[in-house]
Structure 1
Amino acid sequence: MVWLIGSLNLSPVQRLCFNERVFSVNLTSVLSFRKKTETFAYLLCLIACNFLSDLEQDGFSKNPFFHVVIAEVPEQHRTKEGHTKIGYALYFYSYSSWKGRSIYMLDLYVMPEFRGKGVGKALMSKVAQLALAAGCHQLNFTVADWNKPSMDFYLSQGCFDVTASLGYHCMRCEGEALEHLAQP
């Protein structure tokens, strides 16, 4: 059994009643998922570089830049390390000049020992429900080209690869290049 804690617009220690249980949710819980795998070392680097307060402000303030849905299992199914929060989906709302309102799922993560049990599907389904409730017409996300299991999962859910079908490339401008671009 997996319980999904709804979209969180909470202070880091605020408590949320869901399914007749009370869960304590904080940013550290969300970030602890990422400490489980070395492929997300960039996030740990951000934390080490004192961006934790930025992440806390950006995700858990009155006007958050992102939202989180958390999957939690009952106490009797916790991990050997004692975790009950076993997955999350991090998303934000955006806009498409072609389709209108959309939602962008930045992260979908499930602890390895809980993969293949419907947790990822439940999280993604919740994000899709939130998208439809907000009048969104599409759910966008990226997946690393080396992550074939995730790609296969997304394709099995009816998603399609816009890189192949529409020819889009994911572009980024950051750091000094962003500073330079911002100059008039």
Structure 2
Amino acid sequence: MENIEIRRAVREDCPRLLELVRELAEYERAPQEVTVTLEHFTESGFGSQPVWWAFVVTVNGRVEGFALYYIRYSTWKGQRLYLEDLVITNEMRGKGLGSLLFDRLIEEVREKKFSGMAWQVLDWNEPAINFYKKYNARFDQGWINCAI
């Protein structure tokens, strides 16, 4: 691979990012769960009050993955980066692009002086679990996800 670049996402990346969100949903066996519109997605990241930020990884100018995050507040720990999605295209998995993005997120935590980074991983997603183990990630037990 040549011409690999990590950069902050820009508004024009949103259609491609949403394509990759849909690809991730297929992989996670939940394609019907993606209901966000491109307009809402774009406004949420690049409108007057953004609620998410992202880094993209490009190969030869094409976005092949991204890491999207927002700021979570913990009354115990303070501001923390919450990694919502780390996605690499099927074709590019296993080539080190995920590590480049994850390393950039760690750098962002330091630059912004966040107290840490948190995320979720599906218990059956062994490749992702093994990826995070390389970073000595702590896997919490006893928490149950809730949503309404």
TM-score bracket relative to the smaller structure: 0.7 to 0.9
> Would you say the 8 A contact 2:66–2:101 is kept in 1?
yes
Cα distance between partner residues in 2 of 1:156 and 1:126:
15
Residue of structure 2 equivalent to 1:61: 47
Q: Using the TM superposition, give the Cα deviation of residue 125 of structure 1 relative to its aligned residue in structure 2, in angstroms.
A: 1.1
C-alpha distance in structure 2 between counterparts of 1:153 and 1:73, whole Å = 21
Gaps of 5+ in 1: 13-24, 76-83, 175-184
CA-CA distance at 1:91 after TM superposition: 0.2
The list of structure 1 runs, each at least 4 consecutive aligned residues, that deviate by more than 6 angstroms after superposition, is none
> Which residue, out of 118, 140, 143, partners 1:168?
143
Q: How many residues align?
A: 143
How many angstroms does 1:171 deviate by? 1.9
The TM-score, its normalising length taken from structure 2, stands at 0.87
Quick check: which has more Rg, 1 or 2? 1
Give the distance between the partners of 1:65 and 1:43, measured in 2 at CA: 20
Kept in 1: contact 2:18–2:38 (CA 8 A): no
RCO comparison, higher one (Cα < 8 Å, 6+): 2
**Residue identity opposite 2:143 in structure 1:** Y
Aligned match of 1:36: 23
What is the SS of the residue equivalent to 2:20? helix
Note the C-alpha offset of 1:87: 0.3
SS in 2 for 1:63: coil
TM-score by length of 1: 0.71
Instruction: Report Cα offsets for 1:28-82 as digits up to 9, x if no partner.
Output: 01111133352351454x14xxx3322121111132111111100115xxxxxxx
Which 5+ residue runs of structure 2 have no aligned equivalent? none
How much is the aligned-residue C-alpha RMSD, in angstroms?
1.7
What are the within-5 Å matches in structure 2 for residues 98-117 of structure 1? 98-117=76-95
